[in-house]
Structure 1
Amino acid sequence: MSMKGKNPEKTKNKKDRLADETRRDFLKLSAAAVAAPALLRAPESEAAAPILPPSPATVPWVMQLPNQIVPAASVATLTPAPTELANVAGGEAGRPAHQRWATFRPNAEYYELRATESPSWVFNPAYPPQKVWTYRAANTPANEFNATVMSHYGHPVICRIHNDLPANHTGFGTPEISTHLHNLHCGSESDGFPGDYYSATKAGPTLTAKGRFKDHLYPNVYAGFENLQNNIGDYREALGTLFYHDHTLDFTSPNLYRGLVGFYLLYDHIDSGNEADPTPGALRLPSHPYDYPLSFADRRFDAAGKLYYDEINPEGVLGDKVTVNGMIEPVLKVAARRYRFRLLNAGPSLFYAFSLVNPNNVKQNFTYIGNDGNLLPKPLLNQQSITLGVAERADIVVDFSKYVIGTTLYLVNRMRQEETRGPKDIKEPGVRVLKIVVDRWPTAQDLSQVPANLRPLPPLDPAEVAAAPVRRFVFERSNNMWAINGQFVNVTAPRFKVPKGRGEIWELVNIDNGWSHPIHIHFEEGRIISRMRNGVQLPIPAHEVGRKDVYVINKNETIRVFIRFRDYVGKYVMHCHNLIHEDHAMMLRFDIE
């Protein structure tokens, strides 16, 4: 075929995309083929992952987490300068134009992150140094697994994310990225859509060109700002504990398994990040360096102590080791004062039931202040356990001033899980995953507090909820893969379209008697209005009464969520955040228009 009149670069990109899609199709077909023998042995609902040998033993409590996290530093300029339209000629991936560019670009702060391969990360001294993939800012210390961004409402961010992963990579994972900031309220071109993956040599099916980097416009505004016409929104819609991670189509789980996940913390005039804030109404929660994010991830290692993952099998790999900020069984040394811990279940498939215990396994009290990205209306006092499905978060405050110097505590996981499909039960005393040592007095007075009221909820209009259209989504096993309403994901076409500004009820249904699904809806938080199991109404737990972005539906459960779609248009996804399920097609695209 003659190339006359054609753009060779576009033709090459098309070939690259076809090659990528062929690879992805191969993975899906291989997954079905690998699992097919299991169907001959047992019904599909009983299929399970192959039994793997346990990871080699590790050495506990010798690795030390840093005493404080170093926030990623903003940069004065970006070269080439950010543009409303994708700067393909300058090396940017071919994204759509930034929405509301004229509104948020003038006051934007700049950040620059690089997805890169670190060749010699040590998970534990018992294992050899090995390569991992992480996001790093220029000032990210070597002992921090990923960069932590701390930003503020009213201060937009343009975050340039470079893909420096090796193009010649072999092994599990793929060296393309599409970074999703979970669950920021932003335009779809900055959402990290799964089909928007890019590298210097490849472009996803929903991009127009490959690129070395992609600019993301994070407006840092509350949802609903368009209706209020104030370009900031309603402070009751604030997010606080967010995290960013790779979302590359069909490879989200292996790419995260290699390490591509970090924290993005948002503050405002209420939750200001300053415990000495004299502003009336400021919460004065424990602030940096005593505001500390902790990411938990299940991993498995082969006999040589190397990270192991099977991206073909649709049952995935259940980790038997838990990393905490990239380390196995580390120690965190704390001062005798209040700390705010932001707990994240980074996945891919283990659920947790965390408790804080002393060496005799006696549970200790803490205060539960936030679920997912959101502060609760009121703190939950004297708590002793927190359950986290994949991608769920919990903010807690622990007062270490009541302990003597030298006290040792442990964070334990009491959730027992034997398969990737979901948790089994809670069993005492649990597995110790983090050692905490109170080793010093604070260098300054602890001015933090936990007030009786945190962040109020925006009211729900009963008439609006009653009139809202209902969409029903059944999450199920299909052809030994994972489906929503009997269909697999297609990122190139929306399953349905939602009018911008409308409130809807989404009914999330788990009809299978064996799997748990943590369902994530991109772009907007929702409110759980009912939870049922086997047709029986269940009470909504206190930690779920606020706004959420992950909804765990256990076996034979149905959750109804009221959710609005405001301010932006474009393509978004809903998926199971058990990342094995997501990569094996339990995801759909919906468009807001």
Structure 2
Amino acid sequence: MVPVPHEPPPPGPGSPSRRRLFQAAGATAAAAFTPHLANSQVVPVRPPSPPTTPWAQPLPVQQPITPVSGLSPLASLIAGARECGRADHQAFARFPPQELYKVEAKVGSHSFHPELPTQEVWGYDGQVPGPLFHARYGKPILVRFENKLPNALQGFGSPDISVHLHNMHTPSESDGFALDWFSPAACGPTLARPGEYKDHHYPMVYAGLDAYGGIGDPREALGTCWYHDHRVDFTAPNVYRGMAGFFLVFDHIDTGNENDTSPVALRLPSGEFDVPLMIADKHFDSGGYLMFDQFNTDGFVGDKPLVNGKIQPFFHVAPRKYRFRILDAGTSRTIDLQLMYQNRPQGFQHIANDGNLFEAPLSRTNVHLGIAERADLVVDFSKFPVGSELFLVNRVLQLDGTKPEKDFLTTPIQLLKFIVDRPMQGFDPSRVPLKLREQPPINLNEVVATRELSFTRTRGSWAINDKLFDGKPILSPKKGTAEIWNLRNLSGGWAHPLHIHFEEGRILTRNGAPPPAWEKGRKDVYFIGPNENVSVFLRFRDFTGKYIIHCHNTIHEDHAMMGRYDIVS
């Protein structure tokens, strides 16, 4: 075992060095802010983004990234000499990688809209969104992330990175812990975390390895995941600059093949009819360049809706079923989505929440997503005449980064236009079966502890149990046990989409009552509105190490509503 080198942590929330950083940066930005005396905050006075014409560009639809034939230096259980510090890969010997990938975090050139200037972004392989991964349970992979960003801060964000795969059942050394960041390779060995790259080993196993055997319990499968930067204090600006991408996972049930003849295959829409949609909001300055405010600790919302990196794109579809994997990848904005045809909401099949297939599909006309929540929807466009135009809209009114308003928008915000005019190639073999994936039972006899976690506002920052994130563990659950965590929002008028790394949980109660149908399945993000209380059943299986719980309003996370928990033997 090679120990991780001892390193001083980066400036923590509330530390003198962090305060000096924000004081210096705030001085240069002071002209853009006016005092908000009631909260002792500063709020932005921003002119609106330049106008843009909707439906001026097609929706980008990605193809999966291709594995590489080899890596140099070779990947190994122990960190190599040119790799940044990390603990040994816990599952490397048991599940050696069968596929290898290499991804560079670097500056890229991106056009958000034809009427705005093409501009620099930070992205994985320099693109927005980052490369699309297609992975499969039972086929372990290793991804080498290289940091090729500029070695000095340019604008908002930080060139130091830590990559989190949200929310695979991954050993802690590959989870993307917020303090396990590493600097650009160009910085050389004088910085705290030298290294040209970091290898992430994803064993591609279900939870329940120890109890179920093989590759774990297939009832614990995930499907729609995503990866993003998780650098402490700078997650919000780094993700906002473009460092996020989809990671889709398949198995013997959700096979990714709508023509699969296996009796257990679901045959959901697949291939070109399985489309990830990353929804975010941005703000642009008077010159049309991306701007961001990382000094208002309430949060940040933009006035331009993006889907897959483009402002209000269009998508030509065939008259058949499509699977849309929708992610709210914004900084602070909650969304409530509807599909509109001739100003009337249309029905769809809601089949998965946070990447977890339901036991059975739900027929719905809207879906509500907090930041980092996902929803898989199946839309059947064969019900509409050829030439029809439908719109995916957001009907939530949200004025700032605190929370969505209770009232819906009188005129919903149009995000994406569908045009039903693609010719059909044969018939549609896909289906949405009445049974999707069996859910694992909730066994309360496994529970060995009940924890109270309060999410509060403390000293102008955000806290868990009145404690700001300092990198030290606040909880130490034992491997192989289960606990109940009561998540309480005591922060007044704010909403918190809370994310617990590593294990999917099950909501037992929301405000003392059973959860609604779409929250009864497995989840990893728990939206908690003002003064709400959500009770969650969690298990801690298979791996040990450090993980985190945090608010996925990434401004709140950076200031400093995050806590470390360690799974111990």
- In the other structure, the counterpart of 1:111 is 101
- In the other structure, the counterpart of 2:385 is 404
- In the other structure, the counterpart of 2:493 is 514
- In the other structure, the counterpart of 1:288 is 271
**Greater helix fraction, Structure 1 or Structure 2:** 1
Q: Closer, same or farther in 2 for the Cα pair 1:528/1:18, shift >3 Å? A: closer
Q: What is the CA deviation profile of residues 239-277 of structure 1, one whole-angstrom value per residue up to 9, with x for unaligned ones?
A: 000000000010000000100000000000010000111
- In the other structure, the counterpart of 1:240 is 223
- In the other structure, the counterpart of 1:496 is 475
| SS in structure 2 of the partner of residue 256 of structure 1 | helix
TM-score (norm 2): 0.93
- In the other structure, the counterpart of 1:4 is none
Q: Does 1:366 align with 2:348?
A: yes
Q: Does 1:483 align with 2:463?
A: yes
Q: Closer, same or farther in 2 for the Cα pair 1:124/1:36, shift >3 Å? A: closer
Separation in 1 of the partners of 2:500 and 2:309?
27
**How much has 1:14 moved relative to structure 2?**
5.7
Separation in 2 of the partners of 1:220 and 1:398?
29
**How much has 1:315 moved relative to structure 2?**
2.5
Residue 182 (structure 1) aligned to one of 166, 170, 174: 166
TM-score (norm 1): 0.89
Q: Is the 8 A contact 1:409 1:437 kept in 2?
A: yes
Amino acid corresponding to residue 501 of structure 2 in structure 1: H
What is the count of residue pairs matched by the alignment? Answer: 558
Q: What is the CA deviation profile of residues 276-295 of structure 1, one whole-angstrom value per residue up to 9, with x for unaligned ones?
A: 11111110000111100000
Separation in 2 of the partners of 1:319 and 1:209?
34
Residue 461 (structure 1) aligned to one of 443, 457, 463: 443
Amino acid corresponding to residue 47 of structure 2 in structure 1: P
Q: Does 1:474 align with 2:454?
A: yes
| SS in structure 2 of the partner of residue 473 of structure 1 | strand
Q: Is the 8 A contact 1:473 1:508 kept in 2?
A: yes
**How much has 1:573 moved relative to structure 2?**
0.5
- In the other structure, the counterpart of 1:556 is 531
Q: What is the CA deviation profile of residues 156-191 of structure 1, one whole-angstrom value per residue up to 9, with x for unaligned ones?
A: 010111111111341001111100000011111100
> Once the two structures are aligned, what percentage of the paired residues are identical?
47
Instruction: State how 1:38-49 maps to structure 2 within 5 Å.
Output: 38=35, 41-42=37-38, 49=43
Residue 297 (structure 1) aligned to one of 280, 285, 299: 280
5+ residue gaps, structure 2, are none
- In the other structure, the counterpart of 2:233 is 250
| CA RMSD, 1 decimal | 2.5
Q: Closer, same or farther in 2 for the Cα pair 1:203/1:266, shift >3 Å? A: farther
| SS in structure 2 of the partner of residue 581 of structure 1 | helix
Q: Closer, same or farther in 2 for the Cα pair 1:184/1:30, shift >3 Å? A: farther
**How much has 1:38 moved relative to structure 2?**
4.9
Residue 136 (structure 1) aligned to one of 125, 131, 137: 125
Q: Does 1:228 align with 2:212?
A: yes
**How much has 1:80 moved relative to structure 2?**
1.1
Separation in 2 of the partners of 1:275 and 1:36?
53
Amino acid corresponding to residue 44 of structure 2 in structure 1: P
**How much has 1:69 moved relative to structure 2?**
2.4
Separation in 2 of the partners of 1:133 and 1:322?
19
Amino acid corresponding to residue 477 of structure 2 in structure 1: V
Q: Is the 8 A contact 1:49 1:419 kept in 2?
A: no
Instruction: State how 1:340-379 maps to structure 2 within 5 Å.
Output: 340-358=323-341, 360-379=342-361
Separation in 2 of the partners of 1:238 and 1:208?
37
- In the other structure, the counterpart of 2:77 is 84
Residue 369 (structure 2) aligned to one of 376, 388, 400: 388
Separation in 2 of the partners of 1:170 and 1:23?
19
Q: Closer, same or farther in 2 for the Cα pair 1:18/1:124, shift >3 Å? A: closer
Amino acid corresponding to residue 213 of structure 2 in structure 1: Q
Q: Is the 8 A contact 1:56 1:301 kept in 2?
A: yes
Q: Does 1:60 align with 2:54?
A: yes
| SS in structure 1 of the partner of residue 549 of structure 2 | strand
Residue 579 (structure 1) aligned to one of 541, 554, 557: 554
Q: What is the CA deviation profile of residues 369-399 of structure 1, one whole-angstrom value per residue up to 9, with x for unaligned ones?
A: 0000100110002x11111000000000001
Q: What is the CA deviation profile of residues 279-317 of structure 1, one whole-angstrom value per residue up to 9, with x for unaligned ones?
A: 111100001111000001111111111111122221243
Q: Does 1:523 align with 2:523?
A: no
Q: Is the 8 A contact 1:192 1:247 kept in 2?
A: yes
Amino acid corresponding to residue 97 of structure 1 in structure 2: D
Q: Closer, same or farther in 2 for the Cα pair 1:122/1:43, shift >3 Å? A: closer
5+ residue gaps, structure 1, are 1-9
- In the other structure, the counterpart of 2:91 is 100
- In the other structure, the counterpart of 2:398 is 417
Q: Is the 8 A contact 1:476 1:512 kept in 2?
A: yes
Q: Closer, same or farther in 2 for the Cα pair 1:168/1:513, shift >3 Å? A: closer
| SS in structure 1 of the partner of residue 173 of structure 2 | helix
Q: Closer, same or farther in 2 for the Cα pair 1:226/1:29, shift >3 Å? A: farther
Q: Is the 8 A contact 2:7 2:192 kept in 1?
A: no
| SS in structure 2 of the partner of residue 498 of structure 1 | coil
| SS in structure 1 of the partner of residue 557 of structure 2 | helix
Q: Is the 8 A contact 1:519 1:574 kept in 2?
A: yes
| SS in structure 1 of the partner of residue 541 of structure 2 | coil
Q: Is the 8 A contact 1:176 1:202 kept in 2?
A: no
Q: Is the 8 A contact 2:338 2:393 kept in 1?
A: yes
Separation in 2 of the partners of 1:462 and 1:101?
32
Separation in 2 of the partners of 1:568 and 1:313?
37
Q: Is the 8 A contact 1:201 1:210 kept in 2?
A: no
**How much has 1:429 moved relative to structure 2?**
3.3
Q: Does 1:167 align with 2:151?
A: yes
Amino acid corresponding to residue 96 of structure 1 in structure 2: A
Q: Does 1:430 align with 2:430?
A: no
| SS in structure 2 of the partner of residue 405 of structure 1 | coil
Separation in 2 of the partners of 1:54 and 1:170?
23
Amino acid corresponding to residue 65 of structure 2 in structure 1: A
Q: Is the 8 A contact 2:353 2:376 kept in 1?
A: yes
| SS in structure 1 of the partner of residue 227 of structure 2 | strand
Separation in 2 of the partners of 1:571 and 1:14?
16
